[in-house]
Every structure is written in C-alpha cells, then in structure tokens.
Amino acid sequence: AQSVSQHNHHVILSEAASLELGCNYSYGGTVNLFWYVQYPGQHLQLLLKYFSGDPLVKGIKGFEAEFIKSKFSFNLRKPSVQWSDTAEYFCAVINAGNMLTFGGGTRLMVKP
Amino acid sequence: DAGITQSPRHKVTETGTPVTLRCHQTENHRYMYWYRQDPGHGLRLIHYSYGVKDTDKGEVSDGYSVSRSKTEDFLLTLESATSSQTSVYFCAISEAVYSYEQYFGPGTRLTVT
C-alpha cells in the first residue's frame, strides 16, 4: 500500500518569507501527485497537480512544486508568503493500483 | 467551484443513534467518495462509488455503509454512531480515478456525544 509523509506538521513564517513544505511518498511506480489547500473553515481546493511532463509544476497563487522521482518527493514552494496563505496544506498521491492517499497535512501560519 | 453540496453541515447526535449524511453533485461525475478528516491523519477514504449501485470500501470503512441510487446522490450512513466517529466528513467527486483531480464538498461536522 502506498503512503504519504508530510514531515512538517506546523510551520510558522513571517510575511515575505520563503516556504517549502516537504512531501514524500512510498510507491515506486508511476504516480499522479497533488497539493490541496484548506483555508480556515473551507473545503479542500486544488493548488496544483503533476501527471507527467515537466517535473516543475506551477499552480495557483504563486505556488509551485517539484517532482523528484529519485527521491520520491513532491515538495511545495512559494518564494514569498502572504498572511492570506495561512491554511492547512495536504499532499496526495495516487497510482494505478490504489485510491488517492493523503498525507497528514501541514498547518501554515503566516504572521503579518 | 464544482457543484457539490453536503447536508447537514453540522450535526450533534448521541452514541448509538443512526446518522445519514448526504452528498449531492450537479457535475454528472461518475466517481464519488466519502472521506473523514481528523487532526494528524489528513483525509482518509471511507467508501467510494464508481457508478449507480456500485460501491467499494476504503481504508476506514468499519462502522459505515453507503448507497448510491442516483448518479447525483451518495449517502453515508453510520448505523450506530460512536464517539470515535466524531469527525469532519467530506464528499468528493471525480470523472475517473486516475489522472483526474477530485473536487471536494464543503464538509459536514459530526459530533457524537
């Protein structure tokens, strides 16, 4: 069975700081990868996704993620965070033999 | 936003009572899912459906049942609610399982006392 690990459970940053959230998965074959965001009191929304092609994926609101197959990683980055980025971020992975599996989430707090 | 609604949005119930949560979609997507969200666990799949009357178990299906009699509706039933089922429940939809993103509903916060 596949698993997804998000090693940072809570992150606190000041506005304008750079962000990198880690995501590692266990499955060795072909995967589709996602980052979802959940703003306080809201449902999950898709930030970005990787299916194939360029391993550097750009999403909404200035976020990007890099798929590194050799490291089984799909880390999320943003050069300069804003207070409005305060949210919980979820990495998710799916392969042909399994359903979508989520990591435990990372709570990001951005201080103004 | 995808056309997904969940009802009720909040519910408090007592241990041992049956509870049914409803998910309704207007997108005509084939696949529908029920997840529960708990701190530190992310979202975990309870059950999913790949068509009318076609359902299968997910990772945490014990104590839950589902039904899908119409494309647009997917019901989650807790036969006899327990305190461990206190959670936020999200419905999601997708056109297919692989190479398609899932769209999520607004969630139902269920408290079992």
Using one digit for the tens of pLDDT, what is the confidence trace for B35-58? 999 988 899 999 999 999 999 999
Q: Which residues contact B97 (CB under 8 A, 6 or more apart)?
A: A94, A99, A100, B31, B50
Nearest Cα residue to B74 out of B98, B100, B94: B94
| Confidence at residue A96, expressed as pLDDT on a 0 to 100 scale | 77
Residue B53 to residue B57: CA distance in whole angstroms: 13
Phi/psi of residue B60, each to 5°?
A: -130, 60
Chain B residues touching residue A46 (CB < 8 angstroms): 101, 103
Residue B47 to residue B68: CA distance in whole angstroms: 11
Share of chain A above pLDDT 90, in %: 81
Q: Confidence band (pLDDT; 50, 70, 90) for B60?
A: very high
Which of A32, A51, A104 is opposite residue B42, by nearest beta carbon? A104
Share of chain B above pLDDT 90, in %: 88
Residue B95 CA: distances (Å) to CA of B29, B57, B71, B92, B99: 5, 19, 12, 11, 9
Q: Confidence band (pLDDT; 50, 70, 90) for B1?
A: low
| Confidence at residue A27, expressed as pLDDT on a 0 to 100 scale | 80
Residue of A nearest to B47 (CA): A99
Cβ-Cβ pairs closer than 8 A, A with B, add up to 45
Q: How far does the CA of residue B15 sit from the closest CA of chain A (Å)? A: 26
- Express each pLDDT in B5-34 by its tens digit: 999 999 999 999 999 999 999 999 999 999
Residue of A nearest to B4 (CA): A43
Q: Mean pLDDT per segment of 10 residues, for chain A of length 112 residues? A: 89 97 89 95 93 94 96 97 97 86 96 93
Chain A residues touching residue B98 (CB < 8 angstroms): 32, 94-96
- Pull the structure tokens for residue A94: 């799916």
Task: Tell me which amino acid residue A71 is.
Answer: K
CB–CB contact B40 A32 (8 Å): no
**Which of A7, A27, A32, A43 is best to mutate for the B interface (most B CBs within 10 A)?**
A43
| Confidence at residue B36, expressed as pLDDT on a 0 to 100 scale | 97
Which of B42, B45, B97 is opposite residue A105, by nearest beta carbon? B42
CB distance B90 to A43 below 8 Å:
yes
